[in-house]
């Protein structure tokens, strides 16, 4: 399908191919020599296979391979020239047992999960690539889709409380007020009621203690009955009835990995949110809340522009 598109427009594709060839050749020229890239995780699911395949196609000069976690020696025994990419939390636990070892990119980890595993410290050899949407980006999305909203309700639990400070900092320049509310017992809906009462919009933190299949119904129905939109925490929630969320998909991650793998591991950032992202919104919910229909691509473009030129 992807290639089919370029076949349909041969002149454009030839032109682009030429450009890509040039860019590729240039990249090859400046990049370090062929690297050995090892991806690992507890299971080799079809999703993992597809991702490894896509990455190896993206980096044909590198050796890209997947090895299940169980078959790997201790991280310290791996060659330091290796580029290690972790795909899940068990692999992170495995990596953490050894301070020595190759430079490591950690994928599919949220701020919350990192905090639970690592506390406030962060081992030097790890680059954490956050899977949850950055809070400032979600706030920008709110600002864009609901320009009248000022009070942003946020439910937090013991594991997500540490995000509040950052959230408040991000809200200030946008002239948004964070109305935070602790929610420790999901069977008690009073905190939810309290926050909805004092907010114009509800922002969902990517905290599975609070946002999960058990709570989804109550969260969405309660907020909707007060005509308050939920923004975030992820795409699955948008399908369920949340108004919108920003997210990065496999393509965005591949782009980011491609850039990072071109660099020397010494220059890898300690932690990073992907700069490329998309917006997913629920048109039916938007319509029912009387919100102007928005084109997801153009909203994302506007937000990306905004991030480039703050």
Partner 1 sequence: MFVGSLPPRSSLLLALLVCPAVQADDLFLDSEALPQVLTATRLKQTPAQVPGSMTVLDTELINASGARDISELLRLVPGMMVGNISGNQAAVNYHGTNASTARRMQVLIDGRSVYRAGLATVDWSDIPVAMEDIERVEVFRGPNTVSYGANALMAVVNIITRHPADSHGTRLKYTRGQRGINDFYASQGTGWNGGDLRLSLSGQEDDGFDSDRNGADYRDSRRLNRLSLAVSHTLNDEQSLDWQINAKDGTNQRPYTYQPVFSGITAAGNNSDVVAKDYAGSMRWNLDLNPQHSLYIQGSAQHWDRQQTWRACDAEVSFSPELAQLWQLNPNYTERLARNITRFTGPGAAPGTPQEMALANQVLEQWRNGASRTVCGDIDQSARESRYDLELQDTLSLSDSLRLVSGLNYRYDRANSETYFNGTLDDTTWRAFGQLEWRASEHWLLQGGAMFEDTRLIGSSLTPRFAVNYLINPRHSVRAVYSEAIRSPDMFENNVNWSYQVSHLRPSAYGQSSARYFVKTRGPGDLDQEHIRSRELGYNGYFAELGLALDVKVFHDEITGMISEPLRNNQYIASNANSSRFRGTETQLDWRVSRADRLRFTYAFVDAEASNPLDQQFSARNSGSAGWLRDWGHGWNSALFYYGDNALNGYRFERVDTRIAKRIALGKAQLQLAGVLQQRLDHEPSTFIDNNYDERRVMYVSAELEF
CA dihedral 115, 120, 123, 127 (to 10 degrees): 60
Per CB under 8 A, the list member of 141, 280, 281, 299 interacting with partner 1 is 280
Build a one-symbol-per-residue string for 98-117: x at contacts with partner 1 by CB under 8 A, - elsewhere: ---------xx---------
- Which one of 74-82, 157-165, 240-248, 302-310 is the stretch in contact with partner 1 (CB under 8 A)? 240-248
Residue 241 binds partner 1, judged by CB under 8 A = yes
Nearer to partner 1, 74 or 297 (CB): 297
End-to-end CA distance of the chain: 36
Binding-site member from 282, 294, 299, 303 for partner 1 (CB under 8 A) = 282
For partner 1, which is the closer residue by CB, 288 or 302? 288
Task: Tell me the C-alpha distance between 254 and 174, whole Å.
Answer: 31
Does the protein bind partner 1 through residue 43 (CB under 8 A)?
A: no
Given 213, 264, 305, 310, the residue binding partner 1 (CB under 8 A)? 213
Smallest separation (angstroms) from partner 1 to the CB of 100 = 28
Exposure string over 106-134, b if 16+ CB within 10 A, otherwise e:
bbbbbbbbbeeeeeeeeeebbbbbbbbbb
Residues within window 137-156 making contact with partner 1, judged by CB under 8 A: 147-148, 150-151
φ, ψ at 38 (rounded to 5°) = -115, 120
Q: Return the residues of window 49-68 that contact partner 1 according to CB under 8 A.
A: 50-51, 54, 57-60
φ, ψ (nearest 5 deg) of residue 190: -60, -45
């Amino acid at each position: 399908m992807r290639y089919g598109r370029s076949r349909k427009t041969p002149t454009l594709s030839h032109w682009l191919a030429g450009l890509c060839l040039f860019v590729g050749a240039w990249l090859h020229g400046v990049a370090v020599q062929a690297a050995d890239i090892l991806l690992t995780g507890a299971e080799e699911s079809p999703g993992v296979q597809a991702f490894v395949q896509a990455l190896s196609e993206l980096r044909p000069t590198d050796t890209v391979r997947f090895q299940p976690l169980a078959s790997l020696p201790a991280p310290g025994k791996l060659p330091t020239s290796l580029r290690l990419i972790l795909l899940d939390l068990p692999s992170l636990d495995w990596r953490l047992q050894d301070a020595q070892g190759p430079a490591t990119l950690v994928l599919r980890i949220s701020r919350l999960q990192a905090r639970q595993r690592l506390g406030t410290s962060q081992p030097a050899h790890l680059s954490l690539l956050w899977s949850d949407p950055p809070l400032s980006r979600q706030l920008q999305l709110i600002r864009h889709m609901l320009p009248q909203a000022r009070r942003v309700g946020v439910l937090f639990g013991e594991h997500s409380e540490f995000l509040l400070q950052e959230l408040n900092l991000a809200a200030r320049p946008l002239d948004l007020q964070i109305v935070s509310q602790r929610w420790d017992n999901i069977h008690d809906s009073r905190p939810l009621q309290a926050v909805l009462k004092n907010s114009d919009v509800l922002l969902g933190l990517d905290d599975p203690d609070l946002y999960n299949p058990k709570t989804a119904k109550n969260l969405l129905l309660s907020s909707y009955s007060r005509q308050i939109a939920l923004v975030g925490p992820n795409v699955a929630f948008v399908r369920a009835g949340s108004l919108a969320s920003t997210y990065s998909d496999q393509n965005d991650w591949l782009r980011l990995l491609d850039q990072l793998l071109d660099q020397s591991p010494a220059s890898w950032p300690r932690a990073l949110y992907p700069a490329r992202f998309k917006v997913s919104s629920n048109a039916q919910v938007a319509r029912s809340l009387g919100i102007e229909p928005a084109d997801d691509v153009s909203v994302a473009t506007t937000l990306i522009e905004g991030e480039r030129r703050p």
